[in-house]
Structure 1
Amino acid sequence: MSLPAREKYAGETRRLLLAFDIGTTFSGISYSILDPGNVPEIRPVTRYPFQEQAGGNSKIPTVIYYDLNGTVAAIGAETLKDGIEADAEELGWSKARWFKLHLRPKPAVSSRANAQVEVPLPPLPPNKTVVNVFADYMEYLHSCAKKYISETHGHPFWTSLEDDIMYVLTHPNGWGGPQQAQMREAALRAGFIPNTDEGRSRVTFVTEGEASLHFCLSNGLTIEGAGESSGVLIVDAGGGTIDLTAYSKLPDHSFEEIAIPQCHFQGAAYVTMRAERYFTALLGRSRFAQDIKELTTRFDRTTKHVFQSEDEPLHIQFTSHRERDPALNIRAGRLTLEGRNVATFFEPSVSCIVDAIEEQISSSYKSIKTVFLVGGFSASNWLYEQVRERTARLGVTLSRPDTHVNKAVSNGAVSFYLDSAVTSRVSRLTYGIKTYVRYDPTNVEHRNRSHRTSIHPALGVPILICRFYPILHKNTRVKATSEFRQTFHYEGVTRGELNRAVESILSYCGPSTNPEWIDEDTDNLYPSVCVVEADTSSVQSTIKTSASGLQYHEINFDVILLFGLTELKAQIAYIQNGVERRGRAQVVYRASELV
């Protein structure tokens, strides 16, 4: 199963497409030159400042050092220089690593995801927000792309296109609008898009799961039996998250999601966090306490990747060869770790992946027989073999691409933009609005809420403002072009009150299949997703008289929501002189919806 032949670029002018995959531990850049009449190609950036000698490496550390003034002192590949950690300690630099995880949603994607954040994340540097750090790192990636593309294709090539570059940013499956808004804000602060509607529209988002599917397809990976009656599961095991997305192929060669995607915080970074916690318990009260940081770094860079057996000990050189303490298994400056202890560092991640695969198979409405394990964490032979052995009982074939060491997601993000293979997605939650109903004393549900009634200022009648009206139900298959409409009736004493519409879009996170009353929420089951704002001054109004004799103005319009894209979009529609007109609506994420 692979993508159909890519078509020639149909645009009228040459453009440049850049994809940034900012991973928890490593990041990558891919790009495509869009020439009218030519078939676009996907190319990775394989050379970075301070990493030229590596040659052909498509990934760089997602790490920043800040000096005492909060200025970037070292970043990306530069942070791997010999002696950089000693310099940082001597000069008082702060290190930002795994900062991507600070952007994770709240509440977490699922109770399991909540439980998985078992070790505190490394704190952000002083006086830095996660958007600040993202902006600095995006600015760095942009400068790397500029240098590489200018050297490869010529500086005039870059300068002729840099003011109209399109960007694709990747993020875990469990992230949504609030995280996308903060990433777009970081792009603005990084300075490579202007703060205009046109500038913001040049940034597109794709989930890491969907980008991984495109990578697999564009690389011609064989997926047995993945036709209209069966599917394939992509498991993207990265540094911070495990993203699972199930797909099946449609007759037109496009793909649809066949289960609600999952995102779990059990990536490779959490293995290192558990190792650090073990080292702290072992050495925290010994003379080696100051070496725990170095020990953890050595484990993260080497030991974690070569671990393959519970029966074989591993040795980590972390201090002077003259140091020894047999009681702590330290000889010649090396700590000896039993393989079974290292296995415990991996176990929560392995169990999470196996359980999540089983959940995807059971919840999918099509049979899944093929599972692809991709992402940097999939390079671990221990992880791969453990997952393969434990999923054999499920009747699936687990495979991993040979190219898992590269940043496949950035290549897949370019393919997503060019090929748009996924045309149908599954709604993660139930979405709706809080609305009012006229109070009906004959309705028992209304009588139970009689203490919540208020008088509508324009209509002059008692109302209840606690009704939940679903617009899109959870687990609904949504095509990219599907529109979900909700009609609104706004009433006001004056016309000026109706010139702007502001509606909060809520999500429902509880077990009910038919949620009705928001006042029954005791556990924040109806969190706000976003606010849709629209200029309704052009909508024709009518003057009416209420039952109590009050005159008021009324306007009627539809809010149109597009849930089937990788980013929520909105419009308004109204009738003017018998013809439907459409207007722009803005999706706004307020502070309460952000991290």
Structure 2
Amino acid sequence: MPSQDIRVVVAIDFGTTYSGFAYAHVVKPETIINDVWPRHIGQIKTNTVLQYDDKFQNVESWGFAALAKKPKRKEKNSSTKPVELFKLHLGDMPQSEKPYLPPNLDYLKAITDFFEAMETVTTRWPGLDFMTQVLFVLSVPAEFSEESKRIMRNCVYNANLISRRYSSRLQFTTEPEAAALYCMEVISENFDEFIEKTFLIVDCGGGTVDLTTRKLLSKSELGEVTVRSGDFCGGNYVDQEFINFLKTKVGTSAIDLLKENLYGQYQYLVHEFCKNVKFPFTGNIEEFETYELDIEQICPAMIQYITGPERDTMKDMEWIIEIDFEDVKNMFDKVIARIIGLIRGQLYGDKSCSTIFLVGGFSESKYLQRRIKQEFQGVKHISVPRQPIAAVMRGAVKYGINRGHIKNRVLKYNYGMNGLRTCEARDPANKMRLSGLVLYFKILAKKGTVMGLNETFSESCMPENSDQATMRFQILISKDDDVKYCEEESVKKLGEFVVELPNTHLEKPKQVDFELCFAEMEIKAYARNKYNNTEYNITCDLEF
């Protein structure tokens, strides 16, 4: 439960395409979804978009109000500068695949500016000190690293939502975990049917798709069954396939120049495609009408960039591009194939799963729903809950009010520490130290372990040399099941601390007990010097 001074829990869903927030008063935990935005009332979320001044210093508008408007033919390069998709710069993807940002705008500033704009609508309760009485819960994609969470915490702090950088008033949960808590509410009327049974949550957002398989342990507790999975294959990637299609019609250089010089028109082009083609597409050819994209009306500035044979062709077509059923189906299928692959991976890990919940904005796609139901006919129930776009927000509020709902989690990494052992024949010669020992990755908790909250893993250690005055302990993680040494590329360091070994002249053994404790969304490491009972500790963000 939140501390006694917390009166309101606010859950922020900072999405790639759309963002929103929900809140509840702790004493009366009824979740309320915000639907009041600047120049946009009645919608659960607003667009994750910013519009800056010419120097990209000050935000002139944000959300729906910052969307590019229908362009003029002779629009100047500096007239509109809407910025979007900046959340994807947090993800672990090649730099070449990250979305466009203006050269003089850093993604950290964009994220901070968006949180600062959100602050104007998330802290408006009269008589409430949001610096001390509001708990913020921020949901993050399953594949986000500890570094990504640290960056987001810094951005929230810089946006003045919290008064201290490492304030406990900001908590993290993963998007699939929050969605699972919402689905727990969905099945509350049929708890007895689901007790001790598993269900799969597929959270289909704009940028990412996150999956988690959960078991309902009781009416108030959820357990995790398999390692969470996710990938960058959300609804925005259908938009990218549309752009790839356009490149075959007008040429790659025309699209690239439009994007570089007139991003507002480029953005408007994509939004028109979404409104008229992507959102209504059901996959049923009888319900589809060929869409005529009129470049002169929708994106007139692009005409100046079309050259060569593509220009001659477009002139003959009177600057109209026809998009037929198979064109749109191909745009979807490339993305949906990756989502289906992720679902197969989860079901392979839990063959007893009888229910799939589809949540997130992209889950509202009738074609996506249809394809998943066709591919997984052996699953008893495939359901889209009410307001799937709000599932993460609702679940995150529930998490903030009572984090005890989460009984256990499955580790996504191998957790370990720096250890010393006797050199073996299989060790490379350069690994042996002067002491004759080898520094290696000592696994304490293996990937795939079902880990209860506050569960601990311990190890007793001795110093390398008898006259050693200190011992350095490192908390390490790796996805590699065959990891051997601390210096391997797959190994990441979460934190470290130094234990002092006083009285080095004494011959009494200097044993140090080391312990990892998995607590909520963080990991705590402890060490105790057995000689003098001195304790040391460190807290790190937990990698899920």
Any conservation in 2 of the 1:19–1:414 contact (CA below 8 Å)? yes
SS in 1 for 2:36: coil
SS in 1 for 2:28: coil
In 2, the alpha carbon distance for the partners of 1:509 and 1:228 equals 32
> Which deviations, in whole Å up to 9, do the C-alpha atoms of 1:311-341 show, x marking residues without a partner?
3343144444699999669978653211111
Counterpart mapping for 1:64-79 below 5 A: 64-71=50-57, 72-79=59-66
* 2:117 paired with 1:140: yes
Does the CA-based 8 Å contact 1:427-1:473 persist in structure 2? yes
2:391 maps to 1:423: no
Looking at structure 1, the residues matched to 184 and 176 of structure 2 have their Cα atoms a distance apart, in angstroms, of 13
2:515 corresponds to: 560
Kept in 1, the 8 Å contact 2:415–2:446? The answer is: yes
Residue of structure 2 in register with 1:471 after alignment: 444
CA distance in 2: counterparts of 1:284 and 1:419, whole angstroms: 54
Amino acid at match of 2:421: V
CA distance in 2, matches of 1:299, 1:64: 20
Change in 2 beyond 3 A, CA 1:473/1:353: same
Within the candidate set 20, 45, 51, 2:34 is matched to 45
Unaligned runs of 5+ in 1: 1-8, 109-113, 456-460, 547-552
User: CA contact under 8 A between 2:410 and 2:451: conserved in structure 1?
Assistant: yes
Structure 2 residue runs of 5 or longer lacking an equivalent are 259-264, 304-310
Decide whether aligned partners of structure 1 residues 58 and 172 sit closer, same or farther in structure 2, where only a CA change above 3 A counts. same
Question: C-alpha displacement at 1:383, in angstroms?
Answer: 0.9
- Tell me if the contact between 1:232 and 1:369 (Cα under 8 Å) persists in the aligned partners: yes
Could you tell me whether the CA contact under 8 Å between 1:276 and 1:292 is conserved in 2?
no
Distance 1:137 1:84 in 2: 24
Matched, 1:450 2:429: yes
**Counterpart secondary structure, 2:443:** strand
Q: Please point out which of 257, 262, 286 is paired with 2:229.
A: 262
Q: State the AA in 2 paired with 1:50.
A: R
CA distance in 1, matches of 2:16, 2:486: 37
Partners of 1:354 and 1:488 in 2: CA distance = 46
Give per-residue Cα distances to partners, 1:376-400, cap 9 Å, x unaligned.
Answer: 00111111111111111x3342110
When residues 543 and 163 of structure 1 are mapped into structure 2, their CA distance, relative to the original with a 3 A threshold, is same
Match of 1:28 in 2: 20
1:355 matches 2:341: yes
Change in Cα spacing, 1:418 to 1:367, as seen in structure 2 (3 Å) is same
Q: Per-residue deviation at 1:350?
A: 1.6
Q: What's 1:124 paired with? A: 101
Q: Contact 1:432–1:468 (CA<8 Å) still a contact in 2?
A: yes
Correspondence 1:63 to 2:49: yes
Distance 2:316 2:45 in 1: 34
Deviation at 1:176, TM superposition (A): 3.2
Partner of 1:458: none
Residues 1:504 and 2:474 are matched in the alignment: yes
Rounded to whole Å, the distance in 2 between the matches of 1:174 and 1:203 is: 20
Change (3 A) 1:586 1:293: closer
Following the alignment from structure 2 to structure 1, what is the Cα–Cα distance between the partners of residues 253 and 155?
43
Equivalent positions of 1:169-318 (< 5 A) are 169-195=138-164, 197=166, 200-220=167-187, 227-251=194-218, 253-284=220-251, 294-309=268-283, 311=285, 312-318=288-294
Q: Measured at CA, do residues 503 and 93 of structure 1 come closer, stay the same or move farther in structure 2, by a change above 3 Å?
A: farther
Q: Which residue of 1 aligns with 2:371?
A: 386
Q: Indicate the SS of the match to 1:570.
A: strand
Aligned partners of 1:485 and 1:561 also within 8 Å? yes
Q: Show the counterpart of 2:262.
A: none
SS for the counterpart of 2:99 is coil
CA contact (8 A) 2:154 2:165 kept: no
Any idea what SS the aligned residue of 1:563 has? strand
Change in CA separation of 1:225 and 1:263 when aligned onto 2, cut-off 3 Å: farther
Displacement after TM superposition at 1:345 (Å)? 0.9
TM-score (norm: length of structure 2): 0.84
**Cross-structure match for 2:502:** 541
Contact 1:218 1:415 in 2 (8 A): no
Question: What's the CA shift string for 1:130-183, capped at 9, x where partnerless?
Answer: 32221111111111212xx33xxxx3x23x344442111111111232211111
In structure 1, distance between residues paired with 2:297 and 2:334: 34
Once the two structures are superposed, residues 455-514 of structure 1 have per-residue CA deviations (whole angstroms, 9 ceiling, x without a partner) of 2xxxxx33222x22101101100011212223444468988x53xx654333333354xx
Q: Report the RMSD for the aligned CA atoms in angstroms.
A: 3.6
**Corresponding residue for 1:96?**
83
